[in-house]
A and B are shown apart, each in its own frame.
Chain A
């Protein structure tokens, strides 16, 4: 990461935002090109297989499909920038309306899963680090490794069997959210998908926290503090933890990125009406405007999350926050 001190903090932030915007723009090009390369005809998708050649041709003209690729890209980009994401080919509704509610649902799921996962990872990671080499550490770490090796959909199915259908059916197997209500008002629908995400992402985060805290606890400055008679409690909380958290913040950003795109499997498994589910359905229906919008939103989300993580890292690291003397 470049150092904010060179050229002032404001300029550093501006540069980071510019990099992020560039990354999102590059994604838009890739997404647009990829969707155009799909072997499907939007006109055919709208009108169905029994449409006459004349009506197909007319619709193609209406959709502007006869115009060159770059022009269509610019039109689409212009639309995105002015808030017009186009219309769904499948349902004919406005893409923004279609995705709006689903974004809220996805964010709710993400937030719930992430806060639980981060809290768990911090607690267990710190616990394991303090008992490094001991039995508790080995149990926590090896459990984490085993869980990390289990694919998300297996976790989902296992949880459904465990808590929704066979063993102890207390929770709904499908998350059939009431469209008008806030997702948090129907928390019981969120528990299973969130739990699946927590099980999938906590092990990685936990191991990151453990290893960075262990490194900080065994660092020269922690040893030096101990040899100055500083109590261990203070060595842990004041010396080791702040330095140990920095890698954990970056790991959290990475996890959030994975969750943004990766909740797809979970959303499909639980029929959860989120962004991932919408993307999945749109791909099935070759609903190109929806695919484009969803992919771009996810890319934008990843960029924003990483920007936030970099900011937090800078705030936690004096060397990055202040200049060299």
Chain B
């Protein structure tokens, strides 16, 4: 770290208008040209910190203390007019969701021209705009400039935002999860552009992400946030090292690392026990103490200060871990020998005149944990829904245990409907908000088994136990539960039907990694009890971690399938290769 950092954040505090603090004294420094990855799970305050670097707090919150200095400008003390010059000009910002961060009513050219008019007075605007667009990997011709945001792909929209941010050559760019909404191959390309632009234009960057893998491929240093504080800052090498030097020192950082699936290594992601406190219910002392194995009385009363743990390595912990990182136990690779339980033969599906599945065949073997991988629009969700009996315009044959299976769930015998269960991607919309968890679980039990109330209640509680939820959850409504708890309830609702096949459609993609790890652990356990699982996902790390077999989908076709390790280590189809390369690129530093 140099004596003249570009960014210096000291004691930064942001509080909600109703009282509780979102950020409780954040310290962070950045050297010129350095890229820092800011990592944390939802509710950690990372987005709040990102916008506070531009002197902004969202409605309902305000910056209550501390300083943010960029170069020699103290941002929090600026008057509105000066602040406007700093925003965009000195510090650029790239928002999380490209679909909503561009004005839908303005042409791309108009939005770029506006940026130029604000920050590039009197300069050769056309040339600068062209250069920024090209550096971001976009065309700069008139036809492109006349487009509206909706006429671009998600990746292009995000590149436009990046071009906008870099156009006035800011010294610091804050990127708030800019690739979360993108496919893995697009994500890898956008990350490469960001890296190049930072290097070529000499800009430093704060890259906010919930994904350690992404940060690993991009950042020089990593800052880990938990409950409104930076708990550990370390050079990339020090953090990810598993032997010596001792790597991550904070128990939360280690937990986060252990929970993140990695496409390169087969290992079961380990969940962090408990869950992150909400902003309004953060415990005193070290906020991580209730989930920490090493916590003692001191941790529960006193907030730990920053401790030097190595060169450029700072940790805020009373008892930083020092031993070597225990490698996660390798997940049991199971060679599935079972007969195909659920089969699809030459299945095609169309929405109106548009065909989205082209003669797809799939064998789901009994007892397998089978992953169905692809990017958005590849048809993986459609195939999962066809297998589940959503019906629609389907041709081809389905069979279950050798017997023909009707395409529409309504035409299937009740027994088969029960045996094939489906869990939706979004746990926030899949549960009836007016029903208690008990009602949600009892309804299918009574409907399918016609058992008396007491027995239904017993089975509902039993299912809650199987998904590791406390019995008192039964009286709550979905609105009172966290995302991970809701998804467990959704899984429990499928389990009470006593299914043979569980079809899971991206059920962890809306969840934090530590929560995802818990759900994956749960599925692995259920599978050990004989359940067959079809797991739809876009995340190759998750595939490597838990799946025995994998089918890769691209443009409505299955382009490759086989044992997980075979497919991921030695992909044959060109598309699979590009997927694996992109996923590996995200976890390997390439420069």
Residues of A within 8 A of B (CB): 218-231, 234, 238-239, 242-243, 316-319, 322-325
Contact = CB atoms under 8 A, between A and B. Distances in A.
Interface in B84-102: 84-89, 92-93, 95, 97, 100-102
A234 B114 contact: yes
A133 B107 CA distance: 32
Given A223-B58, A322-B150, A325-B153, 18 more contacts: A220-B95, A220-B100, A223-B56, A223-B95, A224-B101, A224-B102, A224-B161, A226-B56, A227-B87, A227-B95, A228-B87, A228-B115, A228-B164, A229-B119, A230-B88, A318-B107, A319-B148, A325-B150
A239 B110 CA distance: 11
B408 interface: no
Nearest to A228: B88
Contact of A322 (B92, B97, B148): B148
Contact of A230 (B56, B59, B114, B165): B114
A133 to B, nearest CB: 9
Contacts of A224: 93, 95, 101-102, 161
Given A220-B100, A221-B102, A224-B93, A230 B151 contact: no
A230 B153 CA distance: 25
Interface centre among B93, B103, B106 (most CB of A within 10 A): B103
14 contacts: A220-B101, A223-B56, A223-B95, A225-B103, A226-B56, A227-B95, A228-B87, A228-B92, A229-B85, A230-B115, A230-B118, A317-B104, A318-B150, A323-B151
Contacts of B297: none
Given A228-B115, A230-B114, A221 B103 contact: yes
Interface centre among B54, B101, B152, B164 (most CB of A within 10 A): B101
A164 B114 CA distance: 53
B95 A229 contact: no
A290 B84 CA distance: 64
B105 interface: yes
A229 B86 contact: yes
A231 B151 CA distance: 27
A215 to B, nearest CB: 12
B51 interface: yes
Interface string B103-139: 1111100000011001100000000000000000000
4 closest A-B pairs (Cβ-Cβ)? A229-B88, A220-B100, A325-B151, A228-B88
Given A227-B88, A228-B87, A229-B89, A322 B151 contact: yes
Contact of A231 (B84, B150, B153): B84
B528 interface: no
A319 B150 contact: yes
A256 to B, nearest CB: 24
Given A227-B51, A227-B93, A219 B100 contact: yes
A295 B103 CA distance: 43
Contact of B152 (A220, A226, A227, A325): A325
Interface of B: 51, 54, 56, 58-59, 84-89, 92-93, 95, 97, 100-107, 114-115, 118-119, 147-148, 150-153, 161, 164-165
B30 to A, nearest CB: 18
A224 B99 CA distance: 12
Nearest to B93: A227
Contact of A243 (B54, B58, B104): B104
A20 B220 CA distance: 62
Contacts of B152: 325
B150 A324 contact: yes
Contacts of B92: 228
A283 B124 CA distance: 72
A56 B87 CA distance: 86
B93 A243 contact: no
A318 B148 contact: yes
Interface centre among A222, A223, A239, A317 (most CB of B within 10 A): A223
A323 B151 CA distance: 7
A225 B105 CA distance: 13
Contacts of B59: 218
Contacts of A318: 104-105, 107, 148, 150
A223 B100 CA distance: 10
B148 A228 contact: no
Contacts of A324: 150-151
Contacts of A317: 104-105
Given A226-B56, A229-B84, A229-B118, A221 B104 contact: yes
Nearest to B174: A227
A80 B105 CA distance: 43
Interface centre among A225, A229, A239, A322 (most CB of B within 10 A): A229
Given A218-B59, A318-B148, A228 B93 contact: yes
B105 A243 contact: yes
A230 B104 CA distance: 17
B84 A239 contact: no
Contacts of B153: 325
B467 to A, nearest CB: 35
A226 B59 CA distance: 13
Nearest to A243: B105
A238 B93 contact: no
A224 B92 CA distance: 10
A220 B97 contact: yes
A194 B404 CA distance: 71
A221 B89 CA distance: 18
Given A239-B103, A243-B105, A227 B54 contact: yes
Contacts of B51: 227
Nearest to A229: B88
A213 to B, nearest CB: 14
A243 B104 CA distance: 8
B106 A239 contact: yes
Contacts of B56: 223, 226-227
A198 to B, nearest CB: 29
Interface centre among A218, A239, A323 (most CB of B within 10 A): A239
A234 B97 CA distance: 22
B114 A221 contact: no
Contacts of B106: 238-239
Contacts of B100: 219-221
A197 B284 CA distance: 60
B95 to A, nearest CB: 5
A324 B156 CA distance: 14
Nearest to B167: A228
Nearest to A225: B103
A221 B105 CA distance: 10
Given A318-B150, A325-B147, A231 B104 contact: no
Contacts of A325: 147, 150-153
B161 to A, nearest CB: 8
Contacts of A242: 105
Contacts of A229: 84-89, 118-119
A75 to B, nearest CB: 43
Contacts of A227: 51, 54, 56, 87-88, 93, 95
B94 to A, nearest CB: 9
A31 B164 CA distance: 58
A222 B102 CA distance: 9
Nearest to B148: A318
A36 B532 CA distance: 67
B72 to A, nearest CB: 19
A125 B96 CA distance: 30
B87 A226 contact: yes
B146 to A, nearest CB: 10
A221 B100 CA distance: 6
A77 B306 CA distance: 86
A231 B118 contact: yes
A223 B84 CA distance: 13
Contacts of B97: 220
A139 B517 CA distance: 51
